[in-house]
Amino acid sequence: MSFLFNFLIKKKGIYSRKGVVPDKETAIKIAEAVWIPMFGEEYVYFRKPYKFYYIPILRYWIISGTLPPNLFGGVQQIVIKKGNGKILFIYYNA
């Protein structure tokens, strides 16, 4: 056990079976931290509640803003890898 633990720390870093982004709350915090500097706080919070999806085969979180009923426009979206927290895509869906 000690050898494996030392190997993971030296070669791979500390490893968690749950991943760096284990749940939707963490994914949403990361998304907001990225979106606010890009789009502005008012824009991001106006597009709440967020839709979120987890794709188990790929281990990706997809988070998207929403619009109030009868309002037209686009929303921000982001794709985050669960295992390492890497942001794969950020885009605006008009």
Answer whether residue 5 is part of any domain: no
Residue 12, pLDDT score: 52
pLDDT of residue 49: 93
Q: What is the pLDDT of residues 24-59, one digit of tens each?
A: 999 999 999 999 999 999 999 999 999 999 999 999
- Number of domains composing the chain: 1
Q: Give a yes or no: residue 54 inside a domain.
A: yes
Does residue 7 form part of some domain?
Answer: no
Residue 41 counted as domain residue: yes
**What is the average pLDDT score of the chain?**
85
Residue 13: per-residue pLDDT:
53
Residue 2 lies in a domain: no
Is 6 a domain residue? no
Give the pLDDT confidence score for residue 61 in this predicted structure: 96
Pick 75 or 12 by higher pLDDT. 75
Q: Does residue 35 belong to any structural domain of this protein?
A: yes
Which domain, by its residues, includes 33?
18-93
Model pLDDT, residue 82: 93
The burial of 63, by beta-carbon neighbours within 10 Å (0-12 exposed, 13-18 middle, 19 or more buried), is given as buried
The end-to-end CA distance of the chain, in Å, is: 51
